[in-house]
Amino acid sequence: MPSKEESMQKQHLHAQKEHAEWLDKLHRWRAEHQRVLAKLSKLQAALLDHNAEIDEQLGQIHRHEQHISRHERVIAAQKGNGESTLDQDALDGHSEGDKSHRELRAQIKRMEGTHDETVEVLNETIDKLKEIRSKMQNERDQEYENIDDDEVVHEASVESFPASDSPSFNPGRT
């Protein structure tokens, strides 16, 4: 039969082996988290870039609306002057506005599919991560619920009093 010291040393070796395994695992997890965070940073940059494109398109729409208003005023002014046909500047302005409108339509159509898909995937990922975190929290809560109160009280009483004193010992009482 092994001595108490040999038994403790065996426990120590086992604990050190587990510690080495845990350290290796935790370092690997930390590296994985860093890589994922780097990817998330790239994703955030891509989303910010996408948002900038949306802002540019909003600006194009506002400029096109202003162009249409100016063009309508030119048409009204020429009709008010009794002109039966539009001058070349008005015709050229209309062609430029029409071309700009077609380009904007193509840009928005191109982005529309990827936008919807991106938002859907991100929302699904966020929901899945919330489920995982909730499961982890539920497991932690369950661990606390499974603690035997009598065992905790007994261990606390053993740790709180010296071995020579009983739990009912109170040196200040007579």
Q: Which residue has the higher pLDDT, 42 or 83?
A: 42
> Band of the pLDDT at 31, cuts 50, 70, 90?
very high
The proportion of the chain whose per-residue pLDDT surpasses 70, expressed as a percent, equals: 84
| Residue 19 domain flag | yes
Q: Give the C-alpha separation, 171 to 162, whole Å.
A: 12
| Residue 120 domain flag | yes
| Residue 157 domain flag | no
Q: Give the C-alpha separation, 78 to 81, whole Å.
A: 5
Amino acid letter at 23? Answer: L
Q: Which residue has the higher pLDDT, 44 or 113?
A: 44
> Band of the pLDDT at 145, cuts 50, 70, 90?
confident
Q: Which domain holds residue 121?
A: 9-145
| Residue 22 domain flag | yes
| Residue 167 domain flag | no
Supply the pTM of this predicted model. 0.60
Split into its structural domains, the chain has a count of 1
Instruction: Check if the beta carbon of residue 75 is closer than 8 Å to that of residue 112.
Output: no
| Residue 25 domain flag | yes
| Residue 76 domain flag | yes
The proportion of the chain whose per-residue pLDDT surpasses 90, expressed as a percent, equals: 49
For 86, other C-beta atoms within 10 Å of its C-beta total 16
| Residue 163 domain flag | no
Residue 144 corresponds to which tokens in the numbers above? Answer: 């606390």
Helix (H) or strand (E) holding 62: helix 4-80
For 95, other C-beta atoms within 10 Å of its C-beta total 10
